[in-house]
Every structure is written in structure tokens, then in C-alpha cells.
Amino acid sequence: MQEKNYIAIRNSQINYYKDVGLYYIEGGSFILYKPPGKLITELRLNEERHPTELYIHQNDRITAIKELQKGFNEHIAKSIKTGNVVEVKSTLCSLVEETLAEPRSGTLQALPETVDVLVSGYSQKPEVLKIFASISFKDYTTVIHSVNVMALTLGFCFYSKLSLHETKRLGLSALMHDVGKTEIPDSILKASRKLTRKEFKVMKRHPKIGDFIIKFKSGIDSGIARGALEHHEKLDGSGYPRGIRHISFAGQLLGIIDCYEALTNEERPYRRAKSPLDTLKLIKQDVEAGKFDRKIFEKFCYSLI
Ligand SMILES: [Fe+2]
Ligand SMILES: [Fe+2]
């Protein structure tokens, strides 16, 4: 049996696969269940008349991710219309999770459409974004962090009355700011203790990796990569990866929102989440120390109210 060549798919997602074939196992072999180009019929789905475990072929992986993204994008647009915020957020998290599984294979291309849908859907009701950002799921992951940073960024943009074009660019930048973390080993990313100096050095590579992936592997305007590259830089030059003092607006804004989001959540199991107010007080100390821009920080505070 060539198990390595087949990947199990989630039951909740089988209705999204059209262009790829689906397989099931019988007598130790993988047998084609649904040929490419067809959907599993509504009837079979409703009556659950399909094998409980279905698989795709490894070679179809990227096509499968793109089909999922398309389905998720449509589902997000529908859920925004019906006002189901929880559904929007959980579908968005699934979409980002699938996207970040293969970010070097052109899968990031689906994200501008996702952000467009969210910006158009919420520009008239920005208050929903506050609910959106506060919905929490069981495990705190890079995906949830990125989605929350995006929601807070859109909230900032709507409060600041930035143009829709600029809002979409910053939202996209926010959603992808930690894409470089996909290439940091899990042993470091999910460590349940403080990182050693050596591990932190590895962790600090993620802005440059993210910059590279967005610039050369995503097919997205390379200007969007600045947020990924500069979100850990500080105005006094104490940040990384380059220790620069002239930081793009995207880099400065994402730096503040990234800190706020991580501190208000249990980013690491050994560190308790802080209240929004305590977090803002901490960030204010960094503003006083010349690390963050005061005006951007103040606007961000107002955008949270
Ligand atoms: Fe980061
Ligand atoms: Fe981050």
C-alpha cells in the first residue's frame, strides 16, 4: 500500500473538492471514488453515503489547496452577509491554515481576495471587527494570531479613515506578517519554556524568511512584504532583523498591533495573558522609550474603544 502518496482529507471539506480525484481504501489499496471534474453529489453528502475516510493524491495537493481556498472565500462572503461572525472567523482560520501549509507554492495568491471580501463586508460595520478579534478558539496558534492581528489592523484603518485601497494592503500585510514562522521548527515555535539564546536567534529569522516568501514566491505585490520584514524593528534601532530606525508605516503599525495581540493572548504556555489595559500600559512604556511612534499608538488605542 502506498500510504505516503495519499493524504487524508477532512470530512467537513469534501464538498469543496471538484478538480481533484478522491480515493478510499479497500483491501489495502487506494481506489478512485470520485473522478476529477465532479463534485460528490448533494444526495450522498446529505445522507452521508460516502466512505468515512477519503484521500487525495499527493500530486494533487496544490490544486486541492486552491480549491479549498476558493470554497472558503465563497463561504466567508456568505457568512459576512448573514452576519455569522464566528463562522467567518473559523472559516478564515481554516483558509489561512491551509494556505500556510504550502506558502512557497503560490498558495498565498488567494489571500488578497479574502482580505478584499472582509474589507468590503466590514467597512460599513467596523464594530463587528471588535467581536471578531475577541472570539477565541481552544489552541492559540500562529494562524489565530495572524487573523487577530489582521482584524485589529482593519479596525485601526477604519477608525483612521484610510482609503479602502490602503486598508486592503495593510490588512493583507497583517495577515501575512508571520508567514516566515512556517519555516521555524515547531520545537522552537511551540516551546513551553523561555527560548534559549540560540533558539531565539533562529526565531529572529522569520521576518526575513517572510519577506522572501512574499517577494519571490507569492505572486503578490512585493511592497506588501515590508510589514513582514519590519514588524520587529524599533524606532530606536533596537529591533531586528536589521536594527533600522527608519521603518515603514506598515512595519510600525504591525509592530504595535503584533505586541498587543501577543500579550493579550496566551502566546506561550508559560506566560499568562494580560488584560488589554495592562498591555497598553506596557506598550506605552516602549513609546516613552522611543521604540514605537506615539501618534500611531494613540490612534490604535482609540480604535479599540
Ligand atoms: Fe513576528
Ligand atoms: Fe506576529
pLDDT, tens only, 94-144:
999 989 988 998 889 999 999 999 999 999 999 999 999 989 877 788 999
Report which bound ligand comes closest to the CA of 261.
Answer: 2
Please report which ligand is nearest the Cα atom of 232. 1
Say how many Å lie between the CA of residue 85 and the centre of ligand 2: 23
- Please indicate, yes or no, whether residues 87 and 37 belong to a single structural domain of this protein: no
How is residue 49 written as a grid cell?
Answer: 453515503
* Ligand 1 center to 136 CA (angstroms): 20
68 found inside a domain: no
Is cis: bond before 207, omega within 30 of 0?
no
CA 2 to ligand 2 center in whole angstroms:
38
Residues that place a CB less than 5 A from ion ligand 1: 178
Asked whether residue 148 falls in the same domain as residue 294, the answer is yes
How far does the centroid of ligand 1 lie from the alpha carbon of residue 149, in Å? Answer: 11
Same domain, 55 and 104: no
Asked whether residue 74 is assigned to any structural domain, the reply reads: no
* Same domain membership, residue 100 and residue 53: no
Ligand nearest to the CA of 181: 1
Q: How far is the CA of 40 from the centre of ligand 1 (A)?
A: 40
Q: What is the pLDDT of residues 137-189, one digit of tens each?
A: 777 889 999 999 999 999 999 999 999 999 999 999 999 999 999 999 999 99
The whole-model pTM stands at: 0.91
Do 48 and 151 fall into the same domain?
Answer: no
- Ligand 2 centre from 146 Cα, in Å? 6
Q: Which of 32, 62, 92 is the last residue of a domain?
A: 62
Q: Of 100, 103, 74, 79, nearest to 89 (Cα)?
A: 79
Evaluate whether residue 92 is within a structural domain. yes
Q: What is the pLDDT of residue 268?
A: 64
CATH number for 202: 1.10.3210.10
Q: Are residues 35 and 92 in the same domain?
A: no
The answer to whether the CB of 37 falls within 8 A of the CB of 19 is: yes
Asked whether residue 67 is domain-assigned, the answer is no
45 CA to centre of ligand 1 in angstroms = 41
Residues 168 and 265 in one domain: yes
Q: Is residue 245 domain-shared with residue 143, that is, in the same domain?
A: yes
Same domain for 154 and 15, yes or no, is no
Taking residues 271-296, report their average pLDDT.
Answer: 94
**The three grid cell numbers given for residue 291, joined into one nine-digit string:** 521604540
In total, how many domains does the chain have? 2
Distance 174 CA to ligand 1 centre (A): 10
**Residues across the chain:** 305
Q: Residue 40: inside a domain, yes or no?
A: yes
Domain that holds residue 232: 83-304
Q: Is residue 70 part of a domain?
A: no
Which-ligand-closest: CA of 262?
2
Under 8 Å between Cβ of 264 and 275: yes
* pLDDT single digits (tens) 55-67: 999 999 989 998 9
Could you tell me if 38 and 152 lie in one domain?
no
- Say how many Å lie between the CA of residue 179 and the centre of ligand 2: 9
Ligand 1 geometric centre to CA of 222 (Å): 18
> Three-state DSSP class for 7?
strand
Residue 242 lies in a domain: yes
- 136 and 269 share a domain? yes
228 C-beta neighbours (distance < 10 Å), count: 28
- Residues 182, 286, single domain; the answer is yes
